[in-house]
Amino acid sequence: MKHLTATSILSILALTNAQSACPSPSGNIRPSVASGYSLQVVATGLAKPRGLAFDSEGHLLVVEQNSGTISSHVINEANGCVTAGESTVVVQEGLDLNHGIWINGTTLYASNVNSVHSWTYDPAARTVDNQEELINNMNNSGHQTRTLLLSQQVPGMMVVSRGSASNLDPMSATIEGGPAQVKAFNLNNRTDVYDWNNDGLLLGWGVRNEVGLVEHPVTGGIYGIENSADEIHRDGVDVSNDNPGEELNFFGYLNGTAYENQGAYFGYPYCLAAWNVTELPNSQDLATGEQFAFDQVSSLNNENRTDEFCADTAAPRLVFQAHMAPLDIKFNNSGNEAWIPFHGSWNRDQGVGYKLSLVQFENGIPVDASDSLRAATDIVANEDNSVCPDDCLRPVAMAFDSQGRIFMSSDSSGEIYLITRDTASTGTGTSASASPIASASSTSAGVFYGPPSAWSGVILAFVLFLLF
């Protein structure tokens, strides 16, 4: 072991120096990463990157919200660094695209506040033509992203979420069209542009802002991740610091599997899910994850409901700490891991969120019970949330590449990050330094942070130990 040649030593040090040249986080951002995982900066300087998707040629497509465009980026790998290289604008300005994106072979889909569009897409040339409007009449103030999910189990079925028009939106209290709903549309038998208010299969209503949508890869179950309400009072007490919880909701199936609550009412704007029950007055009959009623507010015409009414609405499968703002959800290939980026809070005494977390699933449902306070394991976070949001990464959306690696956007910092799982945590026995996440494997706890350059001293010390 101690008979290393000078060439070997130089090779090791050269690799270390090459890795230290990988891009660094913008400004004063200092991420922390769970043990067993690695984080790299892939791209910087983007115009508020939101939705991500990979085409069949391995190009990363990015919805840049500030410009309303979709850009395409060549992904380069050299000397241990994965970086975004040459880029081009695929969809030009004019449609104000803001978040939703999906690619299905040679068809590109994207959305703005009012409509969903498609284009014929050439992944080799990275060009589009034949633009069509597929769904419209979704415009409202307030929450303006329209997340897209194209079913992989039922070809042609597209799921779309539409958020509410305000914090507590009276228009969301009716099932007839309107905001705060999740619907599915059959693109295969479309004869004209779908009208949101009159068309589509209703999967759920009374969901405040279901920004993340996902289909379970095995069961076909449709899940959504919800940003819940702000500034809530109950019995005259401000309970908004730790309530309501952010939600993981289940909307049933598109593949014909029976589900009695398909199209159910999830309670908003009158009912919300409890997170910190001890903060809620008169909560002796409530548990974490259960729906509760809150005080009258003028925006709802001083109407309110009771806890008994709320108990009959569809409750979330899981809840997460209030105000963390989940914006996406993706499963690995086997469906036993759900990845959720939390954008981070703006209205809490101490900032929370600003992280990427992992939720364990089994047989298509969460492993944790609906009253769990610890369903999510943090994988990527910031070292110090007290400097957030200004000097923090703010995760938004994710895409898996063909190798099963996670690419994640951070909109406020204009960045794309790469997250990989270290081989040592997979139990596969392979010799590669990183392994795909989109496959079944175990996770480990603990947190560390250090850019590749931080390892140069460690590697040098190890080499000297081997020599002497």
pLDDT of residue 193: 99
| pLDDT band at residue 186 using 50, 70 and 90 as cut-offs | very high
Instruction: Note the Cα 357 to chain centre separation in Å.
Output: 10
Residue 196: count other Cβ atoms within 10 Å of its Cβ: 23
pLDDT in tens, 154-176: 999 999 999 999 999 999 999 99
Which amino acid, one-letter code, is at 381? A
Q: Is residue 422 part of a domain?
A: no
| Nearest Cα residue to 245 out of 375, 146, 357 | 375
Within a domain: 435:
no
More confidently predicted of 22 and 219: 219
What pLDDT, on the 0 to 100 scale, is given for residue 446?
30
Look at residue 379 and tell me if it is in a domain. Answer: yes
Beta strand 194-195 with 127-136: parallel, antiparallel or unpaired? parallel
Nearest to 38 by CA among 457, 449, 453: 449
Does any domain span residue 63?
yes
For residue 76, the domain's CATH number is 2.120.10.30
- Pairwise CA distance, residues 86 & 339, whole Å: 28
CB within 8 A of 461, min separation 6: which ones?
none
In-domain check, residue 414: no
Q: Total domain count for the chain?
A: 1
How much is the average pLDDT of 359-375? 99
Q: Can you give the residue range of the structural domain that contains 386? A: 48-397
In angstroms, the CA 41 to CA 427 distance is: 26
Burial readout 138-156 (b: 16 or more C-beta within 10 A, e: otherwise) = bebebbbbbbbbbbebbee
Per residue in 393-419, pLDDT (tens digit) is 999 999 999 999 999 999 999 999 999
What is the reported pLDDT for 351?
92
Mean pLDDT of 447-459: 40
Predicted local distance difference test score (pLDDT) of residue 72? 98
Q: Is residue 299 part of a domain?
A: yes
**Rounded distance between C-alpha atoms, residue 216 and residue 222, angstroms:** 6
DSSP 378-438: EEEEES-GGGTTTTS--EEEEEE-TTS-EEEEETTTTEEEEEEEEGGGTT-----SEE-SS
Largest CA distance in the chain: 81
Q: Indicate the helix (H) or strand (E) that contains 458.
A: helix 456-467
Q: What angle do CA 68, 144, 323 make, to 5 degrees?
A: 115
